[in-house]
Amino acid sequence: MKQLIFVKTDTPQGTISVVMRFIGKLIYFRFNNNQYAQQVINTLREKGAFIKTGRMWVLVNMFTASSDVFTIQGKTINITESSPEQIEDFLADFYAMQYTKAGFKLE
């Protein structure tokens, strides 16, 4: 399991903290009922991800397509040939880059 925490302080809602946990090909993030969280959920759902929203956590499985090879931002991974740790690193690197671009700081 890999965990990342992102923080953004200069939002109209005040400080926003995002906690993401990566377990193999599954992503869990703490549910925050705000526009940023809803935007991420909607974008992932549009791209075909399986999403289950619970009381405190949102479960995301981005690898629901029939292909075992996925390319995100020019990086490719084969989920059947990769270890759970390699998939976690792949996803964590992608999200770290995306949240940093959006102005969040990685803690």
Q: Per residue in 24-33, pLDDT tens? A: 999 998 887 7
Residue-wise pLDDT tens digits, 45-88: 998 899 998 888 999 998 887 778 888 888 999 999 999 999 99
Of the candidates 22, 28, 26, the residue with the CA atom closest to the CA atom of residue 2: 22
Q: Quick one: tokens of 31?
A: 């549910």
Q: Is the pLDDT of residue 21 over 80?
A: yes
Summarize the confidence of residues 92-107 as an average pLDDT: 92
Q: Is the pLDDT of residue 36 over 80?
A: no
Of the candidates 22, 18, 54, 25, the residue with the CA atom closest to the CA atom of residue 39: 18
